Structure 1
Amino acid sequence: MALTTNYLGLKLKNPLIASASSLNSRLDNIRRLEDAGVGAIVLPSVFQEQIEAEADEVSCRVDAYAESSPEAQSYFSGAIANPYGMGPDSYLNLVRRARAAVGVPVIASLNGSSRAGWTDFARLIEQAGASALELNMYHVPTDLLESGQVIEARYSEIVEAVCGTVALPVAVKLTPYLSSIGHFAEQLVGRGAAGLVLFNRLLEPDIDLLRMKLTDRLDLSEPEEMRLPMLWIAILSGRTKASLAASTGVSDVDGVVKYLLAGADAVMTTSALLRHGVGYMSTLVDGLRTWMEEREIASLDDMRGMMSWLRSRDQSVYSRANYIRILGHYAAP
Structure 2
Amino acid sequence: MRADLSTRYLGLELANPVVVSSTPATGRRESLRELAASGAGAVVLPSLFEEEFLSGDAHLDGTGDHVALLRWAKQELDIPVIGSLNATKPGSWQRIANELVDAGADALELNLYTLTANPLTTSAEIELEHLAAIEAVRIVTDIPLAIKLSPYYSAISHFANQAVDAGADGLVLFNRFYAPDINLDTLEVFADADYSTASAQRLALRWIGILRGQLPGTSFAATSGVHSGTEVIKAALVGADVSYVASAVMTRGPQAIGQILAETDAWLSANDYPTLAEIRGKVSAASVKDASAYERAQYISVLKSAW
**Counterpart contact for 2:59–2:65, Cα < 8 Å:** no
From 93, 104, 107, the counterpart of 2:79: 104
Residue 52 to residue 218, structure 1, CA distance change in 2 (3 Å) = same
> What TM-score, normalized by structure 1, do the two folds share?
0.88
3-state SS of the aligned residue for 1:211?
Answer: coil
Amino acid at match of 1:37: G
Work out the number of aligned pairs and report it: 304
Per-residue deviation, residues 292-333 of structure 1 (Å, max 9, x unmatched): 11111021221111121111121111122222222122x35x
Per-residue deviation, residues 184-232 of structure 1 (Å, max 9, x unmatched): 0110100110000000011111122221111211101111111111110
3-state SS of the aligned residue for 2:19?
Answer: strand
Paired position in structure 1 for 2:68: 93
Task: Return the alpha-carbon distance in structure 1 between the equivalents of residues 140 and 123 of structure 2.
Answer: 26
From 234, 239, 253, the counterpart of 2:209: 234
Q: CA deviation at 1:114?
A: 3.5
Paired position in structure 2 for 1:71: none
Q: CA deviation at 1:265?
A: 0.5
From 228, 236, 252, the counterpart of 1:252: 228
The 5 Å alignment of 1:1-333 reads 1-54=3-56, 79-80=60-61, 87-240=62-215, 241-329=217-305, 331-332=306-307
**Counterpart contact for 2:48–2:96, Cα < 8 Å:** no
Per-residue deviation, residues 121-144 of structure 1 (Å, max 9, x unmatched): 211211111100001111111111
3-state SS of the aligned residue for 2:70?
Answer: helix
Amino acid at match of 2:180: P
Amino acid at match of 2:108: L
Q: CA deviation at 1:78?
A: 5.5
> What TM-score, normalized by structure 2, do the two folds share?
0.96
**Counterpart contact for 1:38–1:285, Cα < 8 Å:** no
Unaligned runs of 5+ in 1: 59-76, 81-86
**Counterpart contact for 2:50–2:96, Cα < 8 Å:** no
3-state SS of the aligned residue for 2:108?
Answer: strand
Per-residue deviation, residues 140-187 of structure 1 (Å, max 9, x unmatched): 111111111000100000000101101110100011000111110110
Task: Return the alpha-carbon distance in structure 1 between the equivalents of residues 100 and 192 of structure 2.
Answer: 31
Unaligned runs of 5+ in 2: none
Greater C-alpha Rg: 1
Q: CA deviation at 1:238?
A: 2.9
Aligned structure 1 segments of 4 or more residues deviating by more than 3 angstroms: 77-80
